[in-house]
Amino acid sequence: MKRLAAVIAALGFTVLLAAPALANSLVATSPIAGSTLKVEPSAVTITVEITPMDMGNEVTVTDPSGRRVDDGTLTVAGNDLIVGMKPITQSGVYKVSYNIISEMDLPLEGSFVFNFSTPTISVPEEVVPTTPAKIEGSDFGTNLFVIGLLVASLAVLIALALYARKIFNER
């Protein structure tokens, strides 16, 4: 029993004392990998876990026909690598390939894709003005109701005036 406890304790210390391996990994991309865009991106951003070196990194963007559409300007800002884009007009799958070098780590290589769908120009339909439908029916009931409200409000006004005069005279 003591031997089993010693083995478990040794394994526990080994697991607790083992340092985690530092490995660079992809944290985020913009545009998001696999997403479909309706608006052309002005840049592609790749965010990594470990700060990349300023030189030696490579990020390329190719269109569906395999031509490069990035403008070649790669900027490292913190953990972000940003490559500018040329104007794109062709719909389809665009591939972003990267080779990122950080200090004391192996190069991070990979790729992801995003879809670009060119916006379609829609021609608005001609608006034909319509005349409002004439409501059929008599307005006699409405007119009678309004006249009745006017007579009732006049009667209330006269009653209030007489009541106010009576109170004023009693003082």
User: What is the CATH number for 78?
Assistant: 2.60.40.1220
Close Cβ partners of 116 (under 8 Å, ≥ 6 residues apart): 36, 37, 40, 88, 90, 91, 92, 94
Count of structural domains within the chain:
1
Query: Does 169 score more than 60 pLDDT?
Result: yes
Given its phi and psi angles, is residue 56 left (phi above 0), alpha (psi -120 to 50 degrees) or beta?
left
More confident residue, 114 or 134: 114
The CA distance from 133 to 165, in Å, is 52
Please report whether residue 88 resides in a domain: yes
Looking at the chain, the whole-number percentage of residues with pLDDT higher than 70 is 81
Please report whether residue 39 resides in a domain: yes
The CA distance from 17 to 112, in Å, is 36
More confident residue, 122 or 117: 117
Please report whether residue 170 resides in a domain: no
Please report whether residue 8 resides in a domain: no
Neighbours of 95 (CB within 10 A): 14
Host domain of residue 33: 23-116
More confident residue, 134 or 21: 134
Mean pLDDT across the chain, nearest whole number? 83
The CA distance from 31 to 55, in Å, is 23
pLDDT tens, position by position, 72-106:
899 999 999 999 999 998 899 999 999 999 887 78
The CA distance from 102 to 26, in Å, is 12
Please report whether residue 157 resides in a domain: no
Please report whether residue 148 resides in a domain: no
Looking at residue 158, its pLDDT comes to 95
> Mean pLDDT over residues 112-130, rounded?
79
Please report whether residue 15 resides in a domain: no
Write down the pTM of the prediction: 0.58
Please report whether residue 30 resides in a domain: yes
